[in-house]
Amino acid sequence: SALTQPASVSGSPGQSIILSCTGTDSDVGAYNFVSWYQQHPGKAPKLMLYDVRFRPSGVSHRFSGSKSGNTASLTVSGLQADDEADYFCSSYTNSSLVVFGGGTRLTVL
Amino acid sequence: EVLLVESGGHLVQPGGSLRLSCAASGFMFGNYWMTWVRQAPGKGLEWVANIHQRGNERYYSESVRGRFTVSRDNAKNSLFLQMNSLRAEDTGVYYCSRGSQRFSDYWGQGTLVSVSS
């Protein structure tokens, strides 16, 4: 089943926020193959982090990732207006498949 | 520049079939796993299927297994998704992406599939 993400999170410009992504021993807890995607309305998803904590070229250092047990986290530091978007986590599973979270709507106040 | 362009999406009746295509450019297509992900209107992302570089390994989500078939033509830098026995719940935007089960680093803009009578 889908990974669990809070439906919405908000923060003010300059603040830091943490988005959580909770799975099970069969996915998030079993592998360090958690990735995060940012999606602006009407646009394609964009890879922000892979393998829990690694940033692709071009992604701001304000985005960082971690994992503890069955929960992965995405931290966005120094919130900016353009960070307002939907964020989805995903994980490899022990069935050799992929499961996504339901997504978190990040609002910059 | 990596570019992925999906096509083939349109309105189809329940029980019908559709074949989506994804044209890739800007990278060595034959060196990468490729993936299909979909998104129902107003909903989250759902992983659909992926295929190994040589096409000899394919994986499907439980919701499409037995109805959808992913394939590729490395000579034509193209990825395909044959969708049969379509249902209303298959409606959504279908994205082609470069990557394996670990992650997808490039995505197309998507093609819309609508299943309705």
Residue B30: the pLDDT is 97
Pairing verdict, β A104-108 and A8-11: parallel
The pLDDT-based confidence of A1 (bands split at 50, 70, 90) is: confident
Preferred mutation among A98, A100, A105 to probe B, highest tally of B CBs within 10 A: A98
Handedness of CA A7, A24, B62, A87 (dihedral sign): positive
Query: Does position A109 have pLDDT exceeding 90, yes or no?
Result: yes
The pLDDT-based confidence of B107 (bands split at 50, 70, 90) is: very high
Task: Tell me which long-range contacts B45-49 makes (C-beta under 8 A, separation of at least 24).
Answer: B45/A37, B45/A39, B45/A45, B45/A88, B45/A90, B45/A100, B45/A103, B46/A100, B46/B92, B47/A90, B47/A97, B47/A98, B47/A99, B47/A100, B48/B81, B48/B94, B49/B81
Query: Does position B26 have pLDDT exceeding 90, yes or no?
Result: yes
Chain A residues whose CB is inside 8 A of the B98 CB are none
Hey, which residues does B93 pair with through a beta bridge? B39, B112
pLDDT digits (tens, 9 = 90+) for B33-77: 999 999 999 999 999 999 999 999 999 999 999 999 999 999 999
pLDDT digits (tens, 9 = 90+) for A77-101: 999 999 999 999 999 999 999 999 9
Identify whether the C-beta of residue A53 lies closer than 8 Å to the C-beta of residue A89: no
pLDDT digits (tens, 9 = 90+) for A16-71: 999 999 999 999 999 999 999 999 999 999 999 999 999 999 999 999 999 999 99
The mean pLDDT value for B90-107 works out to 97
How many beta-carbon pairs below 8 A join chains A and B? 60
Kindly identify which residue of chain A lies nearest to residue B49, measuring between CA atoms: A97
3-state SS of B20-73 is: EEEEEECCCHHHCCEEEEEECCCCCEEEEEEECCCCCCEEECCCCCCCEEEEEE
User: Which of A47, A86, A97 minimises the CB distance to B101?
Assistant: A97
Q: Would you give the DSSP letter of residue B75?
A: G
**Which residues 59-98 of A have a C-beta within 8 angstroms of B?**
86, 88, 90, 92, 96-98
What is the rounded CA–CA span in Å between residue B58 and residue B35?
Answer: 10
